[in-house]
Amino acid sequence: MGLTRAEIFSEEQNKLAAMFKLLAHPARIAILQYIAVNKTGICNDLIDELGLAQATVSQHLKELKTFGILKGKIEGKSVIYSIDPDMWITVRGNFAIFFAQEI
């Protein structure tokens, strides 16, 4: 049905999956890498960098911002996006815990 049956999984499993999903697209990876390197990024730069249409880039930025890994600051006509360090650390920590499992 295309609808994940989230209710049968634990909070932790759903949260982890949501984090993985956020990063499960090369455009969103590229956006985070660009902003990590340049410390900040505006939508226009990312349009050039990625080669996707403005609407598409804006949509990916929105997903990252809604999740909380990016924050946006309005500066004149532009929006300056940057990584939210707290969320970044949280996400990294959750992944680390997942991969710390003995196998």
Dump the DSSP string for 33-78: HHHHHHS-EEHHHHHHHH---HHHHHHHHHHHHHHTSEEEEEETTE
Site string for a copy of itself, 6-45 (x = CB under 8 A): x-xxx--xx-xxx-xx-xxxxxxxx-xx--xx--------
Identify the residue among 79, 80, 88, 90 touching a copy of itself (CB under 8 A): 88
Radius of gyration, CA atoms only, the chain? 15
From residue 76, alpha-carbon distances to 45, 49, 80 in Å are: 16, 22, 10
| Per-residue mark of binding to a copy of itself, 45-64 (x: CB under 8 A) | -----xxx------------
Q: Which residue lies nearer to a copy of itself by CB, 16 or 79?
A: 16
Residues 6+ apart with CB under 8 A from 99: none
Helix (H, G, I), strand (E, B) or coil at 79: strand
Can residue 97 be called a binding residue for a copy of itself (CB under 8 A)? no
* Interaction site with a copy of itself (CB under 8 A): 4-6, 8-10, 13-14, 16-18, 20-21, 23-30, 32-33, 36-37, 50-52, 83, 85, 88, 91-92, 95-96, 98-99, 101-103
